[in-house]
Amino acid sequence: TELVDADNDPGTDGVFNIMLSGANYGTPAIADVDNDNELEVIVGSRDGNLYVQNPDGTSLPGFPFAAGGDITNSPAIGDINNDGLKEIVFASSNFLVYALNVNLVQPPGWPAGANMNLDYDASPALADLDGDSFLDVIICAGNGTAYAFRGQNGWLFPGWGFILYDAGGSKVGLSSSPAVGNLDADPEYEICFGGNDGKLYAFNVDATLVDGFPIGTNNSIEGGPILWDIDDDGLTEVVAQSLDENVYVWDSPGTFDPDDQPWPMFYQNSRRTGEVNSEVWVTVGTPDILNPTGLALAPNHPNPFGSQTAITFRVPEGDPEPTQLQVFDLGGRLVRTLFDGLATPGTHEVSFDGKNQLGQRLGGGIYFYRLDTPGNSISRKLVLLP
C-alpha cells in the first residue's frame, strides 16, 4: 500500500515524489529536521533541488531548495553549530557544500567550496574531529581533493583540502564516501576512504597518513569502507570492496569501542538514515546462542568495556556440575576467578569489573575468559579499555 499517491495514478504503487530529472544516484535520509517529532524524507536530485517532505508528502516551507547544481550525493544530517536545529549537509556540482537548517539558514562560513565534479559524487560524513563539541564535515571530491571543514564556521582543518596524485602524476578521482573511526592506538579519530587509483587511504586529523596506509588493490575503490569489529576481537577491522571483484578485510591496531565510532560506514548506520549519533546496528531478532541442550558461553557485553562487563553462560540439563569461569591474560596466566562451584542447569550471568583477584585494576588490553566443566571447555576474548 502506497503512503502517498504523488503521481495521481492508482496503477502505480509507492510513488512518493516526482523529481525533474533522471539518473538520481543519492540515497534519501530520514530525520526529524523541524523538531515536530515526525521524521522527514530528505533527498537531493540531479535536477538541482533538495527535497524535504513530511510523511504525508507535503514539502516543508521553502523546499525544494534550488542549489544551483546537480546533487548526486546523499545528505548527512546533524546539528553542526549546536543551535538546536539539525543541518542538512550535501554537495552540489556548482562546487559548493551546503549546510542548511529547516529555515534555510546556514552557519557562518557555509556554503563551503569543494570541487565536486564527478557523475556521482562522494557523500559527506559528520564527526567531531577535534573534541570541541562541534560536528565537523568530511567529504571527498572528484578531482582528488579531500576536505575536512569545521562545522561551526566552514573553515578547513589545517592540512586539509589536499590533492591526491597517482604514480603518474594524475589526480586521483575520489568517489568513495569517507568513514570516521579509530584505526590506531591514539585516541583521535582517523578518516578512511577509497581512491579510484585502487588504494584505500586513511588520514589522521592533522592530515598525515595513518601508519600502514595507503593499502593497494587491483582496481578502483568507489564505495565507502566500513570500520567495525567484525570478528569480536576488540579491534577495529576495515572492510572495503574494490572493482577488482574482491572484498577486502584488514585488521587495524585500533581498540574498538562501539560507542565511539561516529561515522563508521556510508550513511552512518545500517538503516542508512544518514543522521549522526544514530544507533549503528538495530537488532530485531537474535538466535539463542546459549544452546539449551549443551554448555554455552556468550560474548561479554559490552566489549570492549571500561569498568564493568557481563558474561552469560549456560549449563545443560542434568545434575549440577563443578563449573569454573576464569579470566586469563595473553600469557595464559590466571588473573581472576569469576565463578567456582556447582552450577545448576540453566542460564547464569556474572559481572567482571576489570580487576584481578586482589582487587587491583588490570592493565588495558586483550584477555581471555574460559568456562570449564568436567570434559568441556569454552573460551572467548574480551578487551579491557585502558
The pLDDT-based confidence of 307 (bands split at 50, 70, 90) is: confident
Is residue 62 predicted with pLDDT exceeding 50?
A: yes
Structure confidence by residue, pLDDT tens digits, 341-369: 999 988 899 999 999 999 999 998 899 99
Q: Domain-by-domain residue ranges, the chain? A: 29-255, 296-384
Rounded CA gap, 124 and 144, in Å? 15
d(CA 64, CA 359): 61
* pLDDT for residue 39: 95
Alpha-carbon torsion (301, 303, 306, 311), positive or negative: positive
- The pLDDT mean for the chain works out to 91
* Equal fold, 29-255 vs 296-384: no
How much is the pLDDT for 291? 54
Pick among 3.10.20.740, 2.40.128.260, 2.130.10.10, 1.10.10.60: CATH of 29-255: 2.130.10.10
- Quote the cell numbers at residue 166: 597517482
| Proportion of the chain above pLDDT 90, given as a percent | 70
CATH of domain 296-384: 2.60.40.1930
Tell me the pLDDT tens digit for each residue of 75-101: 999 999 999 999 999 999 999 999 999
Tell whether the model's pLDDT for residue 288 goes beyond 60.
Answer: no
Q: How far apart are CA 112 and CA 99, in angstroms?
A: 9
Instruction: Tell me what the mean pLDDT of segment 137-148 comes to.
Output: 95
* Cβ neighbours around 206 below 10 Å, total: 12
**Average pLDDT of 31-45?**
96
The secondary structure of residue 55, as a DSSP letter, is T
